[in-house]
Protein backbone atom coordinates (compact mmCIF):
# COMPACT_ATOMS: atom_id res chain seq x y z
CA UNK A 1 0.00 0.00 0.00
CA UNK A 2 1.47 3.40 -0.92
CA UNK A 3 2.02 6.03 1.77
CA UNK A 4 -0.84 8.19 0.51
CA UNK A 5 -3.32 5.30 0.39
CA UNK A 6 -2.28 4.28 3.87
CA UNK A 7 -2.97 7.83 5.09
CA UNK A 8 -6.38 7.86 3.45
CA UNK A 9 -7.25 4.61 5.23
CA UNK A 10 -6.62 6.20 8.65
CA UNK A 11 -8.53 8.98 10.35
CA UNK A 12 -6.91 12.35 9.76
CA UNK A 13 -6.92 14.47 12.93
CA UNK A 14 -7.40 18.23 13.04
CA UNK A 15 -4.26 20.38 13.06
CA UNK A 16 -2.87 21.04 16.53
CA UNK A 17 -3.38 24.65 17.64
CA UNK A 18 -0.23 26.70 17.04
CA UNK A 19 0.63 30.35 17.57
CA UNK A 20 0.31 32.62 14.55
CA UNK A 21 -2.69 30.89 13.04
CA UNK A 22 -4.63 34.19 13.06
CA UNK A 23 -1.79 36.37 11.81
CA UNK A 24 -2.51 38.19 8.56
CA UNK A 25 0.11 39.66 6.24
CA UNK A 26 -0.17 42.31 3.53
CA UNK A 27 -0.04 41.34 -0.15
CA UNK A 28 1.79 43.53 -2.68
CA UNK A 29 -1.28 43.31 -4.87
CA UNK A 30 -3.49 44.75 -2.10
CA UNK A 31 -5.34 43.47 0.93
CA UNK A 32 -4.29 41.02 3.60
CA UNK A 33 -4.34 37.27 3.88
CA UNK A 34 -3.83 34.76 6.68
CA UNK A 35 -0.14 33.87 6.75
CA UNK A 36 0.59 30.34 5.56
CA UNK A 37 3.68 29.24 7.50
CA UNK A 38 5.14 26.54 5.26
CA UNK A 39 8.71 26.62 6.52
CA UNK A 40 8.38 24.25 9.46
CA UNK A 41 11.69 22.58 8.59
CA UNK A 42 13.52 25.81 9.44
CA UNK A 43 11.53 26.67 12.58
CA UNK A 44 8.04 25.44 13.41
CA UNK A 45 5.48 27.72 15.09
CA UNK A 46 5.08 27.21 18.82
CA UNK A 47 2.31 24.88 19.89
CA UNK A 48 -0.36 26.85 21.74
CA UNK A 49 -0.04 24.28 24.51
CA UNK A 50 3.71 24.96 24.83
CA UNK A 51 3.08 28.70 24.95
CA UNK A 52 0.38 28.27 27.61
CA UNK A 53 2.59 26.04 29.74
CA UNK A 54 5.47 28.51 29.54
CA UNK A 55 3.16 31.43 30.35
CA UNK A 56 1.75 29.57 33.36
CA UNK A 57 5.26 28.85 34.63
CA UNK A 58 6.73 32.29 33.88
CA UNK A 59 5.68 33.98 37.19
CA UNK A 60 7.42 31.15 39.05
CA UNK A 61 10.64 31.46 37.04
CA UNK A 62 13.79 31.18 39.12
CA UNK A 63 17.41 30.05 38.93
CA UNK A 64 18.19 26.37 38.45
CA UNK A 65 20.59 24.36 40.67
CA UNK A 66 21.75 27.51 42.43
CA UNK A 67 19.16 29.00 44.75
CA UNK A 68 17.69 28.26 48.18
CA UNK A 69 14.43 30.08 47.52
CA UNK A 70 11.13 28.38 46.78
CA UNK A 71 11.04 29.45 43.14
CA UNK A 72 14.61 28.29 42.58
CA UNK A 73 13.70 24.91 43.99
CA UNK A 74 10.57 24.78 41.89
CA UNK A 75 12.50 25.75 38.75
CA UNK A 76 15.15 23.13 39.50
CA UNK A 77 12.44 20.48 39.86
CA UNK A 78 10.84 21.60 36.63
CA UNK A 79 14.18 21.44 34.81
CA UNK A 80 14.98 17.95 36.07
CA UNK A 81 11.42 16.76 35.40
CA UNK A 82 11.79 18.10 31.86
CA UNK A 83 14.89 15.95 31.52
CA UNK A 84 12.89 12.89 32.61
CA UNK A 85 9.99 13.70 30.25
CA UNK A 86 12.26 14.09 27.23
CA UNK A 87 14.21 10.96 28.18
CA UNK A 88 10.91 9.04 28.17
CA UNK A 89 9.83 10.68 24.92
CA UNK A 90 13.02 9.39 23.30
CA UNK A 91 12.66 5.97 24.94
CA UNK A 92 16.26 6.07 26.15
CA UNK A 93 18.10 3.24 27.91
CA UNK A 94 18.28 3.46 31.72
CA UNK A 95 21.96 4.47 31.75
CA UNK A 96 21.71 7.10 29.05
CA UNK A 97 22.41 10.76 29.79
CA UNK A 98 20.32 13.59 28.43
CA UNK A 99 22.08 16.92 28.06
CA UNK A 100 20.14 20.10 27.35
CA UNK A 101 21.95 22.10 24.70
CA UNK A 102 21.06 25.09 22.55
CA UNK A 103 20.18 23.17 19.36
CA UNK A 104 21.01 20.19 17.17
CA UNK A 105 24.10 22.03 15.94
CA UNK A 106 25.20 22.54 19.52
CA UNK A 107 24.48 18.89 20.42
CA UNK A 108 26.54 17.51 17.55
CA UNK A 109 29.40 19.90 18.26
CA UNK A 110 29.32 18.75 21.87
CA UNK A 111 29.55 15.12 20.77
CA UNK A 112 32.35 16.00 18.35
CA UNK A 113 34.31 17.42 21.31
CA UNK A 114 33.72 14.21 23.25
CA UNK A 115 35.11 11.81 20.63
CA UNK A 116 37.77 9.49 22.03
CA UNK A 117 41.29 9.93 20.68
CA UNK A 118 41.77 8.53 17.18
CA UNK A 119 38.03 8.24 16.53
CA UNK A 120 37.10 7.78 12.89
CA UNK A 121 33.88 9.45 11.77
CA UNK A 122 31.70 8.38 8.85
CA UNK A 123 29.15 10.76 7.47
CA UNK A 124 27.18 10.92 4.23
CA UNK A 125 27.73 14.00 2.06
CA UNK A 126 23.94 14.37 2.06
CA UNK A 127 23.83 15.59 5.65
CA UNK A 128 22.81 19.02 6.88
CA UNK A 129 25.92 21.08 7.63
CA UNK A 130 25.22 20.63 11.36
CA UNK A 131 25.94 16.92 10.91
CA UNK A 132 28.52 17.30 8.17
CA UNK A 133 30.90 19.84 9.64
CA UNK A 134 31.49 19.36 13.40
CA UNK A 135 33.92 16.47 12.82
CA UNK A 136 36.70 18.39 11.10
CA UNK A 137 39.17 17.66 13.91
CA UNK A 138 38.60 13.90 13.66
CA UNK A 139 39.48 11.47 10.86
CA UNK A 140 36.35 11.95 8.77
CA UNK A 141 35.26 9.85 5.81
CA UNK A 142 32.58 11.51 3.70
CA UNK A 143 30.39 8.95 1.98
CA UNK A 144 28.87 9.54 -1.46
CA UNK A 145 25.14 10.14 -1.77
CA UNK A 146 23.29 6.81 -2.03
CA UNK A 147 20.35 6.55 -4.45
CA UNK A 148 18.40 4.00 -2.38
CA UNK A 149 18.18 3.26 1.35
CA UNK A 150 19.74 -0.17 0.67
CA UNK A 151 22.65 1.53 -1.08
CA UNK A 152 23.14 3.74 1.99
CA UNK A 153 23.59 0.64 4.13
CA UNK A 154 25.92 -1.00 1.57
CA UNK A 155 28.01 2.17 1.27
CA UNK A 156 28.37 2.41 5.03
CA UNK A 157 29.21 -1.28 5.40
CA UNK A 158 31.88 -1.04 2.74
CA UNK A 159 33.46 2.01 4.38
CA UNK A 160 33.36 0.46 7.85
CA UNK A 161 34.82 -2.83 6.62
CA UNK A 162 37.81 -0.89 5.28
CA UNK A 163 38.44 1.03 8.50
CA UNK A 164 41.04 0.40 11.16
CA UNK A 165 39.03 -2.12 13.24
CA UNK A 166 40.78 -1.36 16.52
CA UNK A 167 40.06 2.30 17.09
CA UNK A 168 36.73 3.91 18.03
CA UNK A 169 34.40 5.00 15.24
CA UNK A 170 31.24 7.04 14.95
CA UNK A 171 28.62 7.19 12.21
CA UNK A 172 26.48 10.32 12.00
CA UNK A 173 23.23 10.08 10.08
CA UNK A 174 20.05 12.04 9.70
CA UNK A 175 16.65 10.47 10.37
CA UNK A 176 14.80 12.56 7.78
CA UNK A 177 16.42 14.79 5.18
CA UNK A 178 15.89 18.52 5.57
CA UNK A 179 15.90 18.78 1.76
CA UNK A 180 13.90 15.83 0.45
CA UNK A 181 12.06 14.87 3.63
CA UNK A 182 12.98 11.25 2.89
CA UNK A 183 13.43 8.88 5.81
CA UNK A 184 16.81 7.22 6.18
CA UNK A 185 17.15 3.53 7.15
CA UNK A 186 18.36 4.38 10.65
CA UNK A 187 17.83 0.97 12.23
CA UNK A 188 19.72 -0.78 9.42
CA UNK A 189 22.54 1.77 9.52
CA UNK A 190 22.77 1.35 13.30
CA UNK A 191 23.00 -2.43 12.88
CA UNK A 192 25.75 -1.98 10.28
CA UNK A 193 27.64 0.43 12.53
CA UNK A 194 27.44 -1.87 15.52
CA UNK A 195 28.41 -4.93 13.49
CA UNK A 196 31.66 -3.13 12.69
CA UNK A 197 32.28 -1.91 16.24
CA UNK A 198 31.24 1.67 15.48
CA UNK A 199 28.74 3.86 17.27
CA UNK A 200 26.03 5.95 15.68
CA UNK A 201 24.46 9.32 16.38
CA UNK A 202 21.07 10.16 14.92
CA UNK A 203 20.40 13.71 13.79
CA UNK A 204 16.68 13.76 14.54
CA UNK A 205 16.17 17.49 13.88
CA UNK A 206 13.69 16.72 11.08
CA UNK A 207 12.53 13.33 12.35
CA UNK A 208 11.49 14.00 15.95
CA UNK A 209 8.83 16.62 15.07
CA UNK A 210 7.11 14.16 12.70
CA UNK A 211 7.67 10.60 13.94
CA UNK A 212 8.24 8.92 17.29
CA UNK A 213 11.94 8.35 17.95
CA UNK A 214 12.90 5.38 20.12
CA UNK A 215 16.58 5.24 20.98
CA UNK A 216 16.08 1.65 22.09
CA UNK A 217 14.20 0.45 19.02
CA UNK A 218 16.43 2.22 16.54
CA UNK A 219 19.41 1.11 18.63
CA UNK A 220 21.27 4.36 18.11
CA UNK A 221 23.92 5.47 20.58
CA UNK A 222 22.94 9.14 20.63
CA UNK A 223 20.18 11.29 19.32
CA UNK A 224 20.15 15.06 18.80
CA UNK A 225 17.29 17.45 18.04
CA UNK A 226 16.23 21.10 18.39
CA UNK A 227 13.31 22.54 20.34
CA UNK A 228 12.49 25.20 17.76
CA UNK A 229 11.70 22.57 15.12
CA UNK A 230 9.59 20.66 17.67
CA UNK A 231 7.17 23.53 18.32
CA UNK A 232 9.17 24.79 21.33
CA UNK A 233 11.08 27.89 20.19
CA UNK A 234 12.83 28.86 23.40
CA UNK A 235 16.46 28.22 22.52
CA UNK A 236 16.99 24.65 23.72
CA UNK A 237 18.11 21.43 22.12
CA UNK A 238 18.92 17.91 23.26
CA UNK A 239 21.73 15.39 23.08
CA UNK A 240 20.78 12.05 24.63
CA UNK A 241 22.57 8.73 24.70
CA UNK A 242 25.55 6.79 26.00
CA UNK A 243 27.16 8.34 29.05
CA UNK A 244 30.70 6.91 28.72
CA UNK A 245 32.14 9.18 26.01
CA UNK A 246 30.42 12.19 27.56
CA UNK A 247 31.78 11.50 31.04
CA UNK A 248 35.29 10.81 29.73
CA UNK A 249 35.40 14.09 27.83
CA UNK A 250 36.35 17.52 29.09
CA UNK A 251 33.30 19.67 29.78
CA UNK A 252 31.94 21.32 26.65
CA UNK A 253 32.02 24.67 28.46
CA UNK A 254 34.07 25.32 31.58
CA UNK A 255 32.23 27.13 34.34
CA UNK A 256 29.77 26.97 37.20
CA UNK A 257 27.27 24.15 37.17
CA UNK A 258 29.70 21.77 35.43
CA UNK A 259 32.15 21.82 38.34
CA UNK A 260 31.61 19.92 41.61
CA UNK A 261 34.66 21.19 43.50
CA UNK A 262 37.29 23.82 42.72
CA UNK A 263 40.40 24.26 44.87
CA UNK A 264 43.53 26.39 44.76
CA UNK A 265 46.77 24.41 44.39
CA UNK A 266 49.94 25.24 46.27
CA UNK A 267 51.61 26.22 43.01
CA UNK A 268 48.92 28.86 42.60
CA UNK A 269 46.87 27.03 39.99
CA UNK A 270 43.35 25.63 40.28
CA UNK A 271 42.15 22.02 40.46
CA UNK A 272 38.63 21.16 39.31
CA UNK A 273 36.46 18.12 39.89
CA UNK A 274 33.86 18.05 37.14
CA UNK A 275 30.43 16.52 37.45
CA UNK A 276 29.98 13.11 35.90
CA UNK A 277 26.32 13.49 35.04
CA UNK A 278 24.68 15.65 32.38
CA UNK A 279 25.60 18.80 34.32
CA UNK A 280 29.21 18.26 33.16
CA UNK A 281 28.21 19.64 29.75
CA UNK A 282 25.64 22.18 30.95
CA UNK A 283 27.89 24.85 32.45
CA UNK A 284 26.30 28.22 33.11
CA UNK A 285 22.73 28.90 34.19
CA UNK A 286 20.49 26.38 32.43
CA UNK A 287 17.76 27.54 30.07
CA UNK A 288 14.88 26.26 32.18
CA UNK A 289 12.18 27.73 29.93
CA UNK A 290 13.81 26.13 26.90
CA UNK A 291 13.97 22.72 28.58
CA UNK A 292 10.45 23.03 30.02
CA UNK A 293 9.04 24.01 26.63
CA UNK A 294 10.61 20.97 24.94
CA UNK A 295 9.11 18.73 27.62
CA UNK A 296 5.74 20.41 27.10
CA UNK A 297 5.96 19.79 23.34
CA UNK A 298 6.91 16.15 23.94
CA UNK A 299 3.85 15.73 26.15
CA UNK A 300 1.56 17.49 23.66
CA UNK A 301 2.74 15.36 20.72
CA UNK A 302 2.50 12.16 22.72
CA UNK A 303 -1.02 13.02 23.85
CA UNK A 304 -2.11 13.92 20.32
CA UNK A 305 -0.70 10.55 19.25
CA UNK A 306 1.88 10.08 16.53
CA UNK A 307 -0.39 7.69 14.60
CA UNK A 308 -2.91 10.48 14.09
CA UNK A 309 -0.22 13.12 13.45
CA UNK A 310 1.54 10.95 10.89
CA UNK A 311 -1.77 10.19 9.15
CA UNK A 312 -2.52 13.91 8.95
CA UNK A 313 0.92 14.72 7.62
CA UNK A 314 0.77 11.98 4.99
CA UNK A 315 -2.57 13.38 3.87
CA UNK A 316 -0.91 16.82 3.43
CA UNK A 317 2.14 15.31 1.72
CA UNK A 318 -0.13 13.53 -0.76
CA UNK A 319 -1.96 16.79 -1.50
CA UNK A 320 1.25 18.71 -2.16
CA UNK A 321 2.96 15.99 -4.16
CA UNK A 322 -0.05 15.26 -6.35
CA UNK A 323 -0.62 19.01 -6.86
CA UNK A 324 3.02 19.59 -7.87
CA UNK A 325 2.97 16.51 -10.12
CA UNK A 326 0.28 18.21 -12.21
CA UNK A 327 2.63 21.07 -13.07
CA UNK A 328 5.11 19.74 -15.64
CA UNK A 329 7.53 22.64 -15.08
CA UNK A 330 8.02 21.59 -11.46
CA UNK A 331 10.70 19.05 -10.60
CA UNK A 332 10.59 17.64 -7.08
CA UNK A 333 14.01 16.73 -5.69
CA UNK A 334 14.47 13.20 -4.44
CA UNK A 335 17.32 10.83 -3.64
CA UNK A 336 15.33 7.69 -3.02
CA UNK A 337 12.47 8.06 -5.52
CA UNK A 338 8.71 8.64 -5.46
CA UNK A 339 7.78 5.74 -3.21
CA UNK A 340 10.23 6.56 -0.41
CA UNK A 341 8.56 7.23 2.93
CA UNK A 342 9.01 10.86 3.89
CA UNK A 343 8.03 13.67 6.25
CA UNK A 344 6.41 16.95 5.26
CA UNK A 345 9.51 18.51 3.70
CA UNK A 346 9.49 18.85 -0.10
CA UNK A 347 12.04 20.69 -2.23
CA UNK A 348 11.61 21.49 -5.90
CA UNK A 349 12.74 23.69 -8.75
CA UNK A 350 10.56 25.36 -11.35
CA UNK A 351 11.77 25.39 -14.93
CA UNK A 352 12.59 28.89 -16.07
CA UNK A 353 12.37 30.38 -12.60
CA UNK A 354 14.99 31.54 -10.19
CA UNK A 355 14.03 29.91 -6.89
CA UNK A 356 14.46 33.11 -4.90
CA UNK A 357 12.15 34.91 -7.34
CA UNK A 358 9.55 32.16 -7.04
CA UNK A 359 9.70 32.13 -3.23
CA UNK A 360 9.49 35.94 -3.13
CA UNK A 361 6.36 35.84 -5.31
CA UNK A 362 4.76 33.16 -3.10
CA UNK A 363 5.31 35.44 -0.13
CA UNK A 364 4.44 38.82 -1.62
CA UNK A 365 1.48 37.76 -3.77
CA UNK A 366 0.02 34.84 -1.79
CA UNK A 367 1.15 35.31 1.83
CA UNK A 368 2.96 31.96 1.81
CA UNK A 369 6.26 31.57 3.67
CA UNK A 370 8.60 28.96 2.19
CA UNK A 371 12.39 28.81 1.98
CA UNK A 372 14.68 28.98 -1.01
CA UNK A 373 18.40 28.29 -1.28
CA UNK A 374 20.63 25.35 -0.52
CA UNK A 375 19.16 24.65 2.93
CA UNK A 376 22.53 24.32 4.69
CA UNK A 377 23.02 21.08 2.77
CA UNK A 378 25.10 22.35 -0.15
CA UNK A 379 26.59 19.03 -1.32
CA UNK A 380 23.17 17.32 -1.29
CA UNK A 381 21.33 20.06 -3.15
CA UNK A 382 24.13 20.26 -5.69
CA UNK A 383 23.95 16.48 -6.20
CA UNK A 384 20.18 16.67 -6.63
CA UNK A 385 20.39 19.61 -9.04
CA UNK A 386 23.34 18.14 -10.90
CA UNK A 387 25.18 21.44 -10.39
CA UNK A 388 28.81 22.22 -9.84
CA UNK A 389 29.63 22.12 -6.12
CA UNK A 390 32.34 24.75 -6.67
CA UNK A 391 29.77 27.41 -7.49
CA UNK A 392 27.68 27.03 -4.37
CA UNK A 393 26.81 30.24 -2.54
CA UNK A 394 26.24 31.01 1.09
CA UNK A 395 23.48 29.18 2.93
CA UNK A 396 20.19 30.58 1.67
CA UNK A 397 21.77 33.02 -0.78
CA UNK A 398 20.41 33.06 -4.32
CA UNK A 399 22.97 32.98 -7.09
CA UNK A 400 21.00 34.27 -10.03
CA UNK A 401 18.97 37.39 -10.69
CA UNK A 402 15.19 37.12 -11.19
CA UNK A 403 14.38 35.22 -14.35
CA UNK A 404 17.79 33.53 -14.67
CA UNK A 405 18.36 29.79 -14.41
CA UNK A 406 18.08 28.58 -10.82
CA UNK A 407 21.06 27.08 -9.04
CA UNK A 408 19.13 26.50 -5.87
CA UNK A 409 15.75 25.19 -4.86
CA UNK A 410 12.48 26.02 -3.11
CA UNK A 411 11.41 24.10 -0.02
CA UNK A 412 7.90 23.79 1.36
CA UNK A 413 7.55 22.16 4.77
CA UNK A 414 4.71 21.64 7.18
CA UNK A 415 3.63 19.66 10.22
CA UNK A 416 1.23 19.18 13.08
CA UNK A 417 -0.20 22.72 12.97
CA UNK A 418 -0.73 23.01 9.22
CA UNK A 419 -4.35 23.31 8.03
CA UNK A 420 -5.33 21.91 4.62
CA UNK A 421 -6.03 25.43 3.36
CA UNK A 422 -2.34 26.37 3.59
CA UNK A 423 -1.13 23.55 1.36
CA UNK A 424 -4.09 24.00 -1.00
CA UNK A 425 -3.27 27.70 -1.37
CA UNK A 426 0.35 26.77 -1.96
CA UNK A 427 -0.46 24.29 -4.73
CA UNK A 428 -2.83 26.76 -6.42
CA UNK A 429 -0.23 29.53 -6.16
CA UNK A 430 2.44 27.34 -7.79
CA UNK A 431 0.02 26.48 -10.59
CA UNK A 432 -0.93 30.13 -11.11
CA UNK A 433 2.63 31.50 -10.98
CA UNK A 434 3.81 28.91 -13.50
CA UNK A 435 0.93 29.46 -15.92
CA UNK A 436 0.47 33.22 -15.57
CA UNK A 437 3.79 34.46 -14.20
CA UNK A 438 4.32 36.88 -11.35
CA UNK A 439 1.98 39.83 -11.17
CA UNK A 440 4.58 42.06 -9.58
CA UNK A 441 8.10 43.26 -10.36
CA UNK A 442 11.00 42.01 -8.23
CA UNK A 443 14.62 43.07 -7.85
CA UNK A 444 17.67 41.63 -6.11
CA UNK A 445 18.66 43.29 -2.87
CA UNK A 446 21.49 41.99 -0.69
CA UNK A 447 21.42 38.77 -2.67
CA UNK A 448 17.69 38.15 -2.23
CA UNK A 449 14.70 38.79 -4.48
CA UNK A 450 12.32 41.36 -3.04
CA UNK A 451 9.31 43.18 -4.46
CA UNK A 452 10.57 46.12 -6.53
CA UNK A 453 8.22 48.53 -4.77
Ligand X SMILES: Cc1ncc(COP(=O)(O)O)c(C=O)c1O
Nearer to ligand X, 237 or 398 (CB): 237
Q: Does 205 bind ligand X (CB under 6 A)?
A: yes
Cβ of residue 377: shortest distance to ligand X, in angstroms?
8
Stretch that binds ligand X, among 99-107, 146-154, 334-342, 398-406 (CB under 6 A): 99-107
**Alpha carbons 411 and 373: distance in angstroms, whole number:** 8
Q: Does 203 bind ligand X (CB under 6 A)?
A: yes
**Alpha carbons 317 and 427: distance in angstroms, whole number:** 11
Residue 263: beta bridge partners? 271
| Of the residues 87, 97, 103, 413, which one makes contact with ligand X according to CB under 6 A | 103
Cβ of residue 108: shortest distance to ligand X, in angstroms?
7
3-state secondary structure of 38: coil
Q: What are phi and psi of 305, to 5 degrees?
A: 90, 120
| Of the residues 85, 97, 131, 354, which one makes contact with ligand X according to CB under 6 A | 131
User: Is 200 in contact with 220 (CB distance < 8 Å)?
Assistant: yes
Residues 35-54 that bind ligand X (CB under 6 A): 41
**Alpha carbons 119 and 117: distance in angstroms, whole number:** 6
Cβ of residue 280: shortest distance to ligand X, in angstroms?
21
Size (the chain), residues: 453
Stretch that binds ligand X, among 4-12, 83-91, 128-136, 291-299 (CB under 6 A): 128-136
Q: Does 76 bind ligand X (CB under 6 A)?
A: no
| Of the residues 128, 242, 312, 411, which one makes contact with ligand X according to CB under 6 A | 128
Task: Let me know the angle formed at the C-alpha of 450 by 377 and 359, rounded to the nearest 5 degrees.
Answer: 45
Cβ of residue 226: shortest distance to ligand X, in angstroms?
3
Q: Does 287 bind ligand X (CB under 6 A)?
A: no
Cβ of residue 340: shortest distance to ligand X, in angstroms?
16
| Of the residues 155, 206, 334, 363, which one makes contact with ligand X according to CB under 6 A | 206
Cβ of residue 131: shortest distance to ligand X, in angstroms?
6
Residue 212: C-alpha distances to residues 47, 61, 188 (Å): 17, 30, 17
3-state secondary structure of 402: coil
Q: Which residues of 76-104 are buried (b: 16+ CB within 10 A; e: fewer)?
A: bebbbebbebbbebbbbeeebbbbbbbbb
Site string for ligand X, 172-191 (x = CB under 6 A): --x---x-------------
Catalytic-role residue among 119, 376, 395, 449: 376
Cβ of residue 181: shortest distance to ligand X, in angstroms?
10
Nearer to ligand X, 41 or 400 (CB): 41
Q: Does 104 bind ligand X (CB under 6 A)?
A: yes
Cα dihedral 219/220/226/229 (nearest 10): -50
Q: Does 130 bind ligand X (CB under 6 A)?
A: yes
Rg of the chain over CA atoms, in angstroms? Answer: 23
User: Is 138 in contact with 114 (CB distance < 8 Å)?
Assistant: no
Q: Where are the alpha helices (DSSP H) in 60-163?
A: 70-89, 104-113, 129-132, 149-161
Q: DSSP letters along 195-217, please?
A: HTT-EEEEE-TTTTTTS---HHH
**Alpha carbons 79 and 67: distance in angstroms, whole number:** 13
Q: Does 365 bind ligand X (CB under 6 A)?
A: no
Site string for ligand X, 208-247 (x = CB under 6 A): ------------------x-x-------------------
Helix 149-161 / helix 186-195 crossing angle, nearest 10 deg: 10
| Of the residues 105, 180, 296, 334, which one makes contact with ligand X according to CB under 6 A | 105
Residues 370-429 that bind ligand X (CB under 6 A): none
Stretch that binds ligand X, among 72-80, 100-108, 317-325, 352-360 (CB under 6 A): 100-108
Cβ of residue 339: shortest distance to ligand X, in angstroms?
22
Nearer to ligand X, 28 or 133 (CB): 133
Our answer to whether residue 449 is catalytic in this structure is no
Q: Does 101 bind ligand X (CB under 6 A)?
A: no
* Cβ within 8 Å of residue 68, ≥6 positions away: none
Nearer to ligand X, 128 or 196 (CB): 128
* Count of residues in contact with ligand X, rule CB under 6 A: 14
User: Is 371 in contact with 232 (CB distance < 8 Å)?
Assistant: no
Q: Does 126 bind ligand X (CB under 6 A)?
A: no
Residues catalogued as catalytic: 376
Residues within the interface to ligand X (CB under 6 A):
41, 103-105, 128, 130-131, 174, 178, 203, 205-206, 226, 228
Amino acid sequence: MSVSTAAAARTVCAPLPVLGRDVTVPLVTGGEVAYAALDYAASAPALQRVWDDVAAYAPYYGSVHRGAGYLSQLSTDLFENARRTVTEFLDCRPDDQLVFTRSTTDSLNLLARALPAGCQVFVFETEHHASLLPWQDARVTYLDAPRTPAQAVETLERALAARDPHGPALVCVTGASNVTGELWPVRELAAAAHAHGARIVLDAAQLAPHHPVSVRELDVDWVAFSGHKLYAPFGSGVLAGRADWLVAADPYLAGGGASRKVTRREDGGVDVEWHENAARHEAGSPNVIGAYSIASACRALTEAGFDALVAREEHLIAKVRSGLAEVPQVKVLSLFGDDAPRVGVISFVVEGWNSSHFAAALSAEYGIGVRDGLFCAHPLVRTLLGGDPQTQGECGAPEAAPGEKSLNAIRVSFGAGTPDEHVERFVNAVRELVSEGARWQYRTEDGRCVPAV
